Amino acid sequence: MHGSLGHIIWTVCYLGVLIGLSAYGIHRYFIIYLFLKNRKRGPVPARYFEQLPKVTVQLPIFNEIYVVERLLRSVSQLDYPRELLQIQVLDDSTDETCEVVAACAEELRQKGFNVQRIHRVDRTGFKAGALAAGLEAAQGEFMCILDADFVPQPDLLKRTVHFFTDPKVGMIQTRWGHLNRGYSFFWMDICCWNRPRAAEAADFSTSMEPLGCGDALVLKAAAAGSTTRYVKISI
């Protein structure tokens, strides 16, 4: 009796795993089908803003002394009206990066850019905490988050901001190719930007490090009723 019961339990478990793996495999094939079906159809905004909105670009930094100057220089070259662009440098650094960031930020201010440097001594929440601190002082209608090793193309904002004309879109993710793309197959990275309400729904007050900010924003913004658009941008 006990042997038969054990056999039944193991059979049920085996069939459950088999069905689960089969469903996962079928889903993968379905994803491939959708890719092949839509590979030539690029995303198009529902419409275009008659007047460009104000955008806050958030740059979370932590001891990135070798790339931070390049990041700020590339952000200053974004093709977007300066009066509609706020640059937030969220600097949690504990090394010489602080001095480099301060000097670069001051240089950009002298050129007429709206640059805000927020330096935290207490790194509560790590990257997510820095983004939350910046969100409280953000002036933009939309937030664009760029990591320290990013080199955004000048037309990044103008190519993507118009997707927010759809009120159901709460966040956009874009694909980026790295400068050293030829050195490795693992070259994909994510830039994400969003509506402030989507960021608030994601609750930056809790750390997103295990998932990554992009993944957490997708999951939590979706839970709040917003959708995500994925836009492929190549260097």
Phi/psi-derived region of residue 63, left when phi > 0, alpha when psi is between -120 and 50, beta in every other case: left
Superfamily of segment(s) 55-232: Spore Coat Polysaccharide Biosynthesis Protein SpsA; Chain A (3.90.550.10)
| pLDDT surpassing 90 at residue 4 | no
Model pTM score:
0.71
210 three-state secondary structure? coil
Domain ranges of the chain: 1-29, 55-232
| pLDDT surpassing 60 at residue 96 | yes
On whether the CB atoms of residues 48 and 163 are closer than 8 A, the answer is no
Of 20-24, 103-107, 184-188, the poorest mean pLDDT is in 184-188
Q: How far is the C-alpha of 60 from the C-alpha of 93, rounded, in Å?
A: 10
On whether the CB atoms of residues 196 and 143 are closer than 8 A, the answer is yes
| pLDDT surpassing 60 at residue 203 | no
| pLDDT surpassing 50 at residue 58 | yes
pLDDT for residue 112: 94
H or E element in which residue 118 lies: strand 114-119
Calculate mean pLDDT across residues 114-138.
90
Calculate mean pLDDT across residues 84-99.
94
